[in-house]
Each structure stands twice: as C-alpha cells, then as structure tokens.
C-alpha cells in the first residue's frame, strides 16, 4: 500500500531507484474512503500526507496513479481493477524505465603513442567507426578505416591497412541482429585471423594491440544484459588468439551501445588512451566493470575433508581435517556496483 507514505512522488522515485532497469513494480491500491476510513481514520499516521497537490485524502483517486508513476521513473504502466468493485481498487503494474546514460566527460585525455591505428567496421552505415577514427586522428595518430561489410571470404582476405607497423587495430563488431549465429561466428573468426595477420609478427616491445569491440556477450550476466551468442563467441576466439599469439595484446571490450555514437566512441577511446592491465572490460550505462576472481577458504571452525581422485578421475570425498593443496576458488562480489567478481574502474 503506497498510500501509507507521506509523499507519494518521493516514494515512487525511491522504488524506481531500488529497481534495476526493466524491473517491475506490482502494487494494489484502494480508493474507497468509506471502507478504510472506519478502520484507520483515527490513526495519526493515516493523515500524515504532505503532498496536498496530489491528493486531499490519504487515498489518491485511481486516475492519478498512472501519470504519477510515469513521472517518477516508470514506463509501461498498466492499471486494472475496474471489473472488481468498480473504482474501489486498482492493481498497478509498472516497469522501471531505462536510466539515461551518463556521458563520458570530454576532458582532454592522454594521447596514445604516436603511430598508425586501424579501425575495422563490419557495417557500412555505422557511425561509430568514423567517430572513433576522428578521435584517434585528433590525438595525433594516423588512422586507416576499413569497411569489411562486403568482404566475401575473410579467411582469404588481406586487410588494406597500409604499410608499416601498426600501433593497434580496433575491430568494431556490431553487425545487425537477425543473421545466423553460426555464419556470423565463422565470418568473424576469419576477420579476426586476417586482422591478427595485419598486425604483423609479435613486436619485441609488446606494443601492438588488437581490440575486439562487441555488444553485450552474456558472459557476465550482471551488470551486463543477456547478450548475443555471436558476441560471446568472439570473446572465446579472442581468448584462444591471446594464447596462440602471446606477443600480441588481444583485448576484449563489451559495449552497451547508446543512441549517441559519439559518446560510445569516446568511451572506447578512453580505453585506448588509458590502457590498463585488464584484457576484458564491460562498459555499461552504469560504468566500467572488469572481472575479478578471488580465492575463498572454508569458513572458520568447519572441518572440510579433502577430495580424492578415483581411478576414473572423479573426485570423491575423503577423510582429513582440511584441504589438500589449494582450496577451490569461486567468484565473489568485489567493490560497489559490481557483478560477481567485477568492480568499477576507480
């Protein structure tokens, strides 16, 4: 019963703040003063309302709830209840609206090392590639933009990234949804291979880098969304490539796209301008997240028997007073506003 609070607008905003984007609120409200008045009318708290601009009695009319929730961070608000008791009750269902994406501050950032960069796009109509290339060019780098949307066979292709040593290559893998996942994965695998070849042999100074920029992968379901299996496959390919080409810095970047390609380009450019040791980064509208794995030990006072291997290689409980060797690890929440094993950048 939301009406039992002094300020309905403040209450609705606090509920919206507690809900994740897309979360739902289900509430039941009464509008019959003759029904509730005799029960609660003598209580001081019943008349503690302060929002007299919304209601003159504790029970707000049924016509006021939908616009109130829409003003306070909800969308898709549905009201029902007329079939039961006329307008005496309302059942309200509202969805938490998506929070606006905060723009990355446009303060000057340290420029990447002078050199040549490549930006590879797989969509001919993408505005993200030119926006990122413009930011790199303004920092003093020479940039080649390559559109591979019409590349028939990436496995046999040689990307036209010019001559000379590349400082880094950014693959913007944002093909439109609806394509067959297997076909997209095979095409992207060939494109990644061609890009790795374009980066040249492993550099002694370790400076060469390849950035695989995808949409949400679903590998980290919180705080990112459900994700796209084709994007998840790209991260798997990137991990394999990092093992096979240790001299090439292969970084995976998951980006929750906004409606502003310029802002998305600035978020990517910040990763290029200020690289860290993290090779897997998730950028959402709530911030920057990286995976963290923390070893855990059994709770104090709990005697945990070690595991023994059977001839078949299966682990079976053994006897003893503790773990043999290193205890198993699990992912644990690390830092505020993080998913399991992930935390904000700073």
* Full DSSP string of 108-167: --PPPPSSEEEEEES-TT-SHHHHHHHHHHHTT-EEEEEE-TT-S-GGG------SS-EE
* 325 three-state secondary structure: coil
Domain boundary residue, one of 96, 125, 146: 96
Residue 282 · residue 222 · CB < 8 Å:
no
First to last CA, the chain: 40
Residue 202 · residue 248 · CB < 8 Å:
yes
Residues 15 and 61 in one domain: yes
Residue 175 pLDDT: 73
Residues 150 and 251 in one domain: yes
pLDDT in tens, the chain (346 residues): 777 787 888 888 888 888 888 888 898 887 777 677 677 767 767 777 788 888 878 788 888 888 888 888 888 888 887 655 567 788 888 888 887 655 544 444 445 556 788 888 888 888 898 999 888 888 888 888 888 887 777 777 677 776 667 788 899 988 766 778 888 888 889 888 888 887 765 454 445 788 999 988 877 766 666 678 888 899 999 999 888 888 888 999 999 888 888 899 999 999 988 888 888 999 888 888 888 777 766 666 555 555 444 444 444 444 443 333 344 444 444 443 344 444 444 4
Residues 203 and 65 in one domain: no
Domain boundary residue, one of 263, 291, 319: 291
Q: Flag whether 343 is in a domain.
A: no
Residues 65 and 165 in one domain: no
Bridge-based pairing state of the strands 329-330 and 294-295: antiparallel
Residues 34 and 143 in one domain: no
Residues 16 and 53 in one domain: yes
Residues 137 and 263 in one domain: yes
Residues 122 and 158 in one domain: yes
Residues 82 and 227 in one domain: no
Q: Into how many domains does the chain fold?
A: 2
Residues 214 and 243 in one domain: yes
pTM of the model: 0.55
Residues 196 and 92 in one domain: no
Residue 86 pLDDT: 63
Residues contacting 227, CB < 8 A, separation 6+: 215, 216, 217, 218, 219, 221, 254
Residue 332 pLDDT: 43
Residue 240 pLDDT: 92
Gap between the Cα atoms of 91 and 251, Å rounded = 49
Gap between the Cα atoms of 72 and 7, Å rounded = 12
Residue 47 · residue 103 · CB < 8 Å:
no
* Structural domain for 121, as ranges: 116-291
Q: At what angle do helices 128-138 and 261-273 cross, to 10 degrees?
A: 40
Residues 92 and 185 in one domain: no
Domain boundary residue, one of 271, 291, 311: 291
Residue from 164, 234, 145 nearest 203 by CA: 164
Gap between the Cα atoms of 124 and 275, Å rounded = 28
């Amino acid at each position: 019963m939301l009406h039992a609070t002094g300020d309905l607008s403040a209450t609705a905003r606090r509920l919206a703040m507690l809900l994740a984007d897309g979360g739902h609120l289900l509430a039941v409200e009464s509008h019959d003063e003759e029904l509730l008045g005799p029960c609660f009318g003598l209580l001081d708290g019943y008349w503690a309302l302060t929002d007299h601009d919304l209601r003159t009695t504790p029970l707000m009319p049924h016509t006021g709830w939908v616009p109130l929730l829409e003003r306070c961070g909800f969308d898709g608000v549905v009201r029902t209840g007329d079939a039961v008791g006329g307008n005496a009750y309302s059942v309200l269902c509202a969805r938490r609206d998506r929070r606006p994406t905060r723009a990355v501050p446009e303060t000057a950032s340290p420029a990447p090392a002078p050199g040549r960069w490549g930006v590879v796009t797989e969509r001919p109509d993408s505005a993200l590639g030119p926006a990122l290339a413009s930011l790199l060019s303004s920092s003093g780098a020479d940039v080649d933009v390559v559109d591979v949307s019409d590349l028939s066979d990436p496995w046999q292709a040689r990307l036209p990234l010019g001559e000379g040593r590349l400082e880094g290559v950014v693959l913007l893998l944002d093909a439109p949804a609806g394509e067959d996942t297997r076909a997209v994965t095979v095409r992207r695998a060939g494109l990644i291979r061609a890009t790795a070849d374009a980066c040249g042999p492993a550099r002694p100074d370790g400076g060469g880098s390849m950035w695989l920029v995808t949409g949400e992968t679903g590998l980290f379901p919180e705080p990112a969304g459900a994700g796209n299996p084709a994007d998840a496959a790209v991260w798997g390919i990137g991990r394999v490539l990092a093992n096979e080409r240790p001299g090439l810095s292969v970084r995976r970047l998951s980006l929750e796209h906004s409606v502003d390609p310029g802002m998305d380009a600035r978020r990517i450019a910040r990763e290029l301008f200020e690289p860290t040791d993290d090779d897997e980064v998730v950028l959402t509208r709530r911030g920057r997240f990286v995976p963290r794995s923390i070893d855990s030990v059994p709770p104090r006072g709990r005697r945990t028997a070690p595991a023994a291997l059977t001839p078949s290689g299966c682990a079976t409980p053994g006897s003893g007073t503790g773990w043999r060797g290193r205890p198993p690890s699990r992912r644990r929440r690390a830092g505020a506003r993080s998913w399991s094993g992930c935390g904000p950048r700073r």
